[in-house]
């Protein structure tokens, strides 16, 4: 279920970026590898709109840290 939702959301994001004028947005198929997609999408957005688009990377880093803290506590 979540695998399919990831692909749909990646496609919708890709289509939205094309709609707002991003000529070559990071391709939606990479959404199946979420870490790669977040980094690639952020790179493209930073080229198009400097000083914007870093929030997804910070959320990714925070989620990795929270998971690491949780696993350290559980194990």
Q: What is the pLDDT along the chain (75 residues), one digit of tens a residue?
A: 688 899 999 999 999 999 999 999 999 999 999 999 999 999 999 998 888 889 999 999 999 999 999 998 876
Sign of torsion, CA 16 38 58 44? negative
Which residues make Cβ contacts (< 8 Å) with residue 22, sequence separation at least 6?
44, 45, 48
CA–CA dist 7, 62 (Å, integer): 23
Q: Which domain holds residue 59?
A: 2-74
Q: What is residue 33's predicted lDDT score, i.e. its pLDDT? A: 93
Instruction: Name the DSSP class of 54.
Output: -
Give the chain's radius of gyration (CA, Å). 14
Count up the domains in the chain and report the number. 1
């Amino acid at each position: 279920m979540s695998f399919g939702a990831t692909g749909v959301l990646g496609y919708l994001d890709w289509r939205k970026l094309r709609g707002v004028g991003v000529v070559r947005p990071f391709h939606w198929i990479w959404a199946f590898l979420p870490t790669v997609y977040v980094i690639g999408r952020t790179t493209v957005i930073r080229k198009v709109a400097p000083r914007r688009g870093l929030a997804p990377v910070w959320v990714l880093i925070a989620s990795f840290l929270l998971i690491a803290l949780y696993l350290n506590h559980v194990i």
